[in-house]
């Protein structure tokens, strides 16, 4: 794998800290190892792991990795649509979209399930992410597209890049949202000190993110049910945007409110973030198609109590 980019940072920072924050899939120890093997250059010079980099420094990374094979596993899939080119799955919460590098990270993922379901998956991109066009967070449920061949993969990547795929979500957030409709536009990037988080405040390598939502209903006048439409697809975008304006998604373990999470668990037995991708709308085979799928049971239980019709 090769990466070439310029640093975007308002202060000097150790190169190993910067890269481990920027690349969530790589630990700091892994970054240090590839620096020691001279696989990282700054401004065309070989470096040591403790040097500090600054804004506009040029970084070149050439990583040689021996990857463990991702095995097929017999995991039940909730398939919404399938043909010879495309699969659309209603992903459960609690399952990663693709393998991750930490312990046991190559097991019990959507990719493992897909490899058991079919041998036909696109090969463009990372070896450990066959067919994966876009991701859903581990604790987010809902619709996700998988390409079964490289031609479909390229097509889906292109229409996503051109913002021609409309993605809609249902979220339950803390507090009563008074504005019936709302739009937030900001830059999102890696948190400067916490590699798990994304942030709108002093982010590393920020990119523009645009989120629209409308209020569907209130639950007990202290939680709001939102319908959300994404214009961009940044990592953790919905969760970060809602948290940044003090309306975190309930039971979000990273960006949420721990007191509210405990209250929600006690009242509704919900133990994952209340975020569900329920609708995809895009052009397929020269026709505009729409896929809509209902909430998973844990979120549906909360919503149906209040007779909300989606």
What residues are annotated to the active site?
137
Q: What is d(CA 247, CA 175) in angstroms, rounded to the nearest whole number?
A: 6
Q: Please report where in the chains the tokens 């504005």 appear, as a residue.
A: 179
DSSP result, the chain: -EEEEE---SS-EEHHHHHHHH-TTS-HHHHHHHHHTT-EEETTEE--TT-EE-TT-EEEEE----PPPPPP------EEEE-SSEEEEEEPTTSBSS--SSTTTTSSBHHHHHHHH-S----SS-TTSTTB-S---TT-EEEEEEESSHHHHHHHHHHHHTT-SEEEEEEEEES----SEEEEEEEEEE-SS-TT-EESSS-EEEEEEEEEEEEEEEETTTEEEEEEEESS--TTHHHHHHHHTT-PBTT-TTTS-HHHHHHHHHHH---S--EEEEEEEEEETTEEEEEE-PPPHHHHHHHHHTT---
Neighbouring-strand partners of residue 219? 223
């Amino acid at each position: 794998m090769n990466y070439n980019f310029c640093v975007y940072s308002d202060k000097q920072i150790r190169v190993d800290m910067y890269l481990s924050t920027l690349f969530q899939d790589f630990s700091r120890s892994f970054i240090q190892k590839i620096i020691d093997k001279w696989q990282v250059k700054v401004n065309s010079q070989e470096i040591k792991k403790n040097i500090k980099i600054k804004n506009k420094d040029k970084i070149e990374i050439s990583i040689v990795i021996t990857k463990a094979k991702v095995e097929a596993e017999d995991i039940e899939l909730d398939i919404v649509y399938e043909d010879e080119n495309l699969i659309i799955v209603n992903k459960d919460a609690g399952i990663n979209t693709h393998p991750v590098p930490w312990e046991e990270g190559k097991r019990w993922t959507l990719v493992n399930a897909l490899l058991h379901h079919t041998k036909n998956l696109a090969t463009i991109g990372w070896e450990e992410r066959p067919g994966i066009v876009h991701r859903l967070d581990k604790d987010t449920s809902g619709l996700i597209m998988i390409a079964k061949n490289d031609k479909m993969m390229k097509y889906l990547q292109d229409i996503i890049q051109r913002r021609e795929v409309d993605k809609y979500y249902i979220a339950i957030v803390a507090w009563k949202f008074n504005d019936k409709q709302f739009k937030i536009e900001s830059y999102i990037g890696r948190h400067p000190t916490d590699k798990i988080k994304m942030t709108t405040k002093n982010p590393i390598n920020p990119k523009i993110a645009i989120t629209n939502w409308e209020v569907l209903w209130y639950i007990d006048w202290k939680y709001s049910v939102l319908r959300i439409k994404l214009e961009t697809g940044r990592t953790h975008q919905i969760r970060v945007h809602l948290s940044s304006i003090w309306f975190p998604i309930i039971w979000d373990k990273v960006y949420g409110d721990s007191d509210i999470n405990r209250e929600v668990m006690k009242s509704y037995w919900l133990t994952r973030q209340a975020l569900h991708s329920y609708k995809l709308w895009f052009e397929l085979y020269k026709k505009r198609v729409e896929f809509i799928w209902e909430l998973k049971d844990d979120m549906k239980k909360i919503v149906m109590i209040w007779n909300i019709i989606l």
